[in-house]
Each structure stands twice: as structure tokens, then as C-alpha cells.
């Protein structure tokens, strides 16, 4: 089989090479993203593998159809940047990697939470200013004394619940599609009650349209004074302007943002583009009770290995069996 991969990062290349060696398949990889122009490189290949945050536009699927390439597998979970209507129109079938390493993202959310509970941003700011005495005045909170509200109880949310519960926290959760059976580590509540009861709100829901600004001014108004919000999920979940306003007023004690609402190719590829100009980002970056990171919660050795191997195996399954267990036929729930 001949497979072409797009959006290849330096850390993935060793796994691409090893996979090709292990399976005997032909694999050509490119660092460029998949778009209406680069898709032309796929002519003559059996399937396409990709990873990117930029859109998969209709023109990509039109040309895949023309080249008789029926299958696209992506090395990540989110499909909100894929034109599903065009994909179906041109008969392209899609698979993602829904669980490459739930622990990677859940652990990152926990890391941000602990950092904010102990006021480490404020501590570091004073140390850098040379005020050792003031740096020691920021009293923290213990996670075991907090109520954590986890939004989304899929693969990642379930791991997050176990981690928070392991620290002794009370955990409540919201999911429009709740798990069946017993779940002794947490109780389901309504979304409104989660906002009202939680000291920490941890997001693990998909970036589908109905979840856009699920954390908005109305949600912030329901939250406890001094609440902490963590988003390692999708960029569109939080109304950033409303969040900034509540940080400035003191209603929010802190936020951890790994998926920024206005993240772009420039933001996530600083090394390639040199700089990213966004006054809102810069303002948040200067706040000691805000933890920003460039969409790296998933980024561990285990996760990268699994993203490559799992997604390529899904493509092989498509090509040899005509199906794969992780096929995506519509927006995630």
C-alpha cells in the first residue's frame, strides 16, 4: 500500500519510519498541511493521513475524489475543522484517533490546576521582580478541599476524574450523554449546578457548534467567586472576552488555557512564522493568574507514538477491510 502523510512534525518522523519498516508499506510524509494545492501530491497514493488545525476545505475532498482516494485518517481527535458536508458529497470516509493518550491531557489539566491553586504565577512574578519576601505571601489552597466539576465524561474526562479524586477532591460532572452504570468517583449534575457548585471547572467536551461559548458571561455569573477554569479541550468553548472581564473583576481566581479561542496556524507554529500578534493573547500572557500554553496538553512521547501508529492502522483497515472501528460519520457528540 502507498500512503501519504501530511503535517508531519519532527517528533513524529521516527514513528513514521518505524511503522513503514514494521509493516512493509510505502509511506511518504510531508511537513506541509493538507490543502487544495498540496493534495495534488497524493495522486497515485491509496490513502491520506494528516494532522493539522487548519481547515480541510471542500477542494481537498473534490481532488481526492478525482484521484480515486477514498480514505482520510487523522492523527488527532477533533473534526471541527473538517468540511463534513463536502467530505460526504465526494464519498470520502474519515477516521480519527479518539483515545491516543487520555492521560496526557488529563494530567496537563491537573498540572494547570495545581499551579493555579498554589498561586505559582504570582510567586514567580515576585521572585523575578527580586521581592523574595512578597513571593512568600500568597497562601494556596489544597486540591483535596475543592469541588471539581468535570465537563465531559469521555475517555479524557474519565481519567481526569480519577486523578482529581486521587487527590481527595469532591468530583461532580456534566455530560449530555452520561455514562451508564455505576460511577462511584463522581455524581452527575446539571450544567447549571456544575457552574454553581464547582471551585474548579475542567473542560473535556468536543468543539461542536452547540458547545461554542458554553462558558460565557451567563456561565461566569453562576460560578462561585474565586473559581478556576481549565480548558485543554477545544478553542471555541470559552468566550475569551467574558473570561478576561471576570479575571479583571476578580470573579475568577485563575484560568488555564491550552486551547485558545483565537489560536491560528501562526500561534501554533511560532518557530516557522516568527511571531504572533494578538493583543488579547498578550494581555492574558501578562496576568500571573493565567496559564497559557500552545495546544500541547496532548504532547507526550506516548501520545505521539499512538497518534501515528493508530491512525495509520486505521487507514490500513480501511484499505484492506473497507472499515475501521473509529470511522467518523458526523460531528462528535
Which residues are catalytically annotated? 234, 263, 295
DSSP character string of 138-194: -----GGGSEEEEE--SHHHHHHHHHHHHTT-EEEEE-SSPPPS--TT-EE--HHHH
HEC assignment per residue over 182-232:
CCCCCEECCHHHHHHHCCEEEECCCCCHHHCCCECHHHHHHCCCCEEEEEC
Give the 3-state secondary structure of residue 312.
helix
**What is the grid cell recorded at 204?**
473535556
The strand pair at 327-328 and 93-95 is best described as: antiparallel
- Specify burial of residue 184 (Cβ count, 10 A radius: 0-12, 13-18, 19+): exposed
Amino acid at each position: 500500500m502507498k500512503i501519504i502523510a501530511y503535517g508531519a512534525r519532527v517528533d513524529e518522523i521516527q514513528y513514521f519510519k518505524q511503522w513503514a519498516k514494521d509493516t512493509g508499506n510505502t509511506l511518504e510524509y510531508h511537513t506541509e498541511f493538507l490543502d487544495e494545492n498540496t493534495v495534488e501530491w497524493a495522486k497515485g497514493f491509496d490513502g491520506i493521513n494528516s494532522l493539522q488545525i487548519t481547515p480541510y476545505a471542500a477542494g481537498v475532498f473534490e481532488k481526492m475524489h478525482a484521484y480515486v482516494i477514498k480514505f482520510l485518517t487523522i492523527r488527532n481527535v477533533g473534526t471541527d475543522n473538517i468540511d463534513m458536508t463536502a467530505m460526504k458529497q465526494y464519498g470520502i470516509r474519515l477516521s480519527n484517533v479518539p483515545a491516543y493518550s487520555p492521560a496526557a491531557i488529563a494530567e496537563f489539566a491537573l498540572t494547570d490546576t495545581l499551579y493555579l491553586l498554589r498561586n505559582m504565577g504570582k510567586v514567580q512574578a515576585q521572585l523575578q521582580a527580586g521581592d523574595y519576601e512578597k513571593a512568600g505571601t500568597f497562601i494556596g489552597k489544597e486540591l483535596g478541599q475543592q469541588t471539581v466539576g468535570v465537563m465531559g465524561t469521555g475517555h479524557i474526562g474519565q481519567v481526569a476524574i480519577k486523578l482529581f479524586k486521587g487527590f481527595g477532591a469532591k468530583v461532580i460532572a456534566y455530560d449530555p450523554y452520561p455514562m451508564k452504570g455505576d460511577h462511584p468517583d463522581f455524581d452527575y449534575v446539571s450544567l447549571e449546578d456544575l457552574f454553581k457548585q464547582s471551585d474548579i471547572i475542567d473542560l473535556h467536551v468536543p468543539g461542536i457548534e452547540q458547545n461554542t461559548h458554553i462558558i460565557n458571561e451567563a456561565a461566569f455569573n453562576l460560578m462561585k467567586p474565586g473559581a478556576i477554569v481549565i480548558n485543554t479541550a477545544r478553542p471555541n468553548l470559552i468566550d475569551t472576552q467574558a473570561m478576561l472581564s471576570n479575571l479583571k473583576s476578580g470573579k475568577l481566581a485563575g484560568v488555564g488555557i491550552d486551547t485558545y479561542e483565537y489560536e491560528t496556524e501562526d500561534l501554533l507554529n511560532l518557530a516557522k512564522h516568527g511571531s504572533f500578534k494578538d493583543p488579547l493573547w498578550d494581555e492574558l500572557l501578562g496576568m500571573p493568574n493565567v496559564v497559557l500554553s500552545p495546544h500541547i496538553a496532548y504532547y507526550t512521547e506516548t501520545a505521539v507514538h499512538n497518534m501515528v501508529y493508530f491512525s495509520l492502522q486505521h487507514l490500513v483497515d480501511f484499505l484492506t477491510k473497507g472499515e475501521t472501528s473509529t470511522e467518523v460519520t458526523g460531528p462528535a457528540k
